[in-house]
């Protein structure tokens, strides 16, 4: 038979001051800024990690606004010069296409990369 553990309410130092400082800043300050704020206004030193644990126990969560997604503006009216002229019915081996890839290499090679065609 398992014995249920009774959870004790752990004592939180300066509970009222932490809550008041959090509310004073419109619930925008996280653990780091709130720690700095408490030190500057009330001269209370609290480690930001400890303050983060206290804030979890007190259910103090910041409200962070999501950033708006910026719409990408593309210029779709661009026209390029047709170099190949789209005439593929010529003789074999007259038109070639290639891709150049740079592969990083050891420091022994002069330019530190290899060209792969």
pLDDT digit string (tens) for 2-28?
A: 677 666 778 888 999 999 999 999 999
Between helices 48-57 and 15-24, what is the axis angle to 10°? 90
pLDDT of 114 > 90? The answer is no
Query: Structural domain of residue 47, as residue ranges?
Result: 15-57
Report the pLDDT value the prediction gives residue 112, as an integer from 0 to 100: 65
Tell me if 104 is assigned to some domain: no
Average pLDDT rounded to a whole number, residues 37-62: 95
Q: Is residue 70 part of a domain?
A: no
Asked whether residue 51 is assigned to any structural domain, the reply reads: yes
pLDDT tens digits, 62-107: 987 888 988 888 888 888 787 767 666 667 777 777 776 767 666 6
Whether pTM exceeds 0.85: no
Host H or E run for residue 55: helix 48-57
Beta-bridge partners for 102: 115
Q: What is the pLDDT of residue 78?
A: 81
Give the count of domains, the chain: 1
Answer yes or no: is 114 within a domain. Answer: no
In a domain, 39, yes or no: yes
CA angle at 101 for the pair 81 and 85, rounded to the nearest 5°: 20
Which of the two residues, 9 and 35, has the higher pLDDT score?
35
């Amino acid at each position: 038979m398992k014995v249920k553990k009774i959870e004790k309410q752990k004592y939180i130092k300066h509970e009222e001051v932490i809550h008041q400082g959090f509310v004073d800043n419109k619930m925008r300050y996280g653990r780091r800024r709130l720690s700095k704020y408490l030190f500057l206004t009330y001269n209370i030193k609290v480690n930001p990690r400890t303050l983060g644990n206290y804030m979890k126990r007190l259910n103090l969560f910041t409200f962070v606004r999501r950033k708006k997604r910026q719409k990408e503006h593309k210029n779709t009216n661009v026209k390029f010069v047709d170099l190949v002229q789209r005439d593929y019915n010529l003789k074999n081996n007259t038109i070639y296409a290639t891709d150049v890839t740079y592969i990083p290499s050891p420091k022994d090679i002069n330019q530190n990369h290899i060209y792969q065609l």
